[in-house]
Amino acid sequence: MPVIQPGGKVLVSGANGFIAVWVLQTLLEKGYSVRGTVRSASKAAHLDSLFKEKYAEKWEWVIVADITKEGAFDEAVKSVDAILHMASPFNYQITSPEEAIPPAVEGTVGILKSATKFGTGIKRIVVTSSIAAILEVGDMTVPHMFTEENWNNQAPALVEAHGADAGPLVVYCASKTLAEKAAWDYCKENKDKISWDLTTVNPSFVLGPILHEVASAEAINQSARDWYQAVLAPNSSGMSDERLAREPSGSYVDVRDAAAAHVLALEKEAAGGERFLISTNFYVYQAWLDVVQDVLPSIQAALPANIPVSRLASLPKGVRGAGKGAVRALDFDVRKAKRVLGMSYKSMAETAEDSLKDYLGRGW
């Protein structure tokens, strides 16, 4: 028996984010009712333009202006069957731990507390965590495979020791570790009071086409922007060939697969009490440059006619094949998500094709 089924109502926090809008679309297409939370009404206008006409009474949004405020989600959780908590700061412009850690931790614990008090019909809560809460950076010349058993205790220790000087990426990783740990601790401490179980989804770097509102290429969310800047930025990847060939020695997941994972994590009974690494492939950026060059001829007809030939010619090429055999220092064992959730993933070519059509089509 699925934990929840189409027809049920799901609360999605941070509903206007890159991954969240794909989650909304996936849920609505499957027949769920969805209530999204946004920080202000202006952030919901684009969501209404996507969903209001097509899904009428199945789509609604509410404002939760400050997720760190005690009881912020008390109203939002009423009369839903499940929650996907996605709101959390993710960007490398974070200037201090205070900017990221309180919203990540207090937002997560806050929504769990509200669900305990007012979410009488809630059966499952899925928190969007990250590989950031799992991986610790070690010797990058040695292959390493991470699993759901691993925790990133390194980032919180670095933030503890160095504060803002630990840097935005480390602060972000610490925020994800501390938020996820706080969620599991809350469930343990309150197991007699809660009617729901917890699942975390831990995606790797999320890439792919965009549904959320973005004003310009510079304003894309952090992960897709990194990809755009390395792979599609006109004239230059902004990285040396040597760096393109080796960095990041990490993994990505298509945003549509990440969205599907969230919905499966809500539905699958056996997912309760589990964390899931969600990731497609190890990559170096050069591999993306090669795939882009490979798919470009076949998708040119699908691109808007006004894209100048010079734009396509300007795409960075790097050195074909460089980086093959790069050390898989940050690799992930994703067998659990396949086994329990039934995850399968889009190919690199599919992600590249759809991202190209989307980003170039917007004139970026």
Q: Which residues are catalytic?
A: 176
Could you give the CA distance from residue 93 to residue 83 in angstroms, rounded to a whole number?
A: 28
Pick 144 or 262: Cβ nearer ligand NAP: 262
Strands 197-203 vs 275-278: parallel, antiparallel or unpaired: parallel
Contact 290, 320 (CB under 8 A): yes
Listed in sequence order, the residues at least 6 apart from 31 whose beta carbon sits closer than 8 Å to its beta carbon are: 6, 7, 58
Decide if residue 228 touches ligand NAP (CB under 6 A): no
Please report, as residue ranges, which positions from 61 to 80 form the binding site for ligand NAP (by CB under 6 A): 67
Residues paired with 283 in a beta bridge: 250
Decide if residue 150 touches ligand NAP (CB under 6 A): no
Select from 32, 82, 89, 111 the one that contacts ligand NAP (CB under 6 A).
89
Decide if residue 203 touches ligand NAP (CB under 6 A): yes
Contact 77, 100 (CB under 8 A): no
**Smallest distance, ligand NAP to C-beta of residue 37, A:** 8
Select from 26, 116, 199, 223 the one that contacts ligand NAP (CB under 6 A).
223
Give me 234's structure tokens: 């006109």
Stretch that binds ligand NAP, among 70-78, 84-92, 140-148, 297-305 (CB under 6 A): 84-92
Give me 33's structure tokens: 């009712």
Select from 103, 119, 168, 209 the one that contacts ligand NAP (CB under 6 A).
103
Stretch that binds ligand NAP, among 138-146, 199-207, 228-236, 306-314 (CB under 6 A): 199-207
Give me 332's structure tokens: 């992930």
Contact 264, 342 (CB under 8 A): yes
- Neighbouring CB atoms inside 10 A of 215's CB total 7
Pick 33 or 130: Cβ nearer ligand NAP: 130
Positions in the binding site for ligand NAP (CB under 6 A): 14, 16-20, 39, 43, 67, 86-90, 103, 128, 130, 176, 203, 205-206, 221, 223
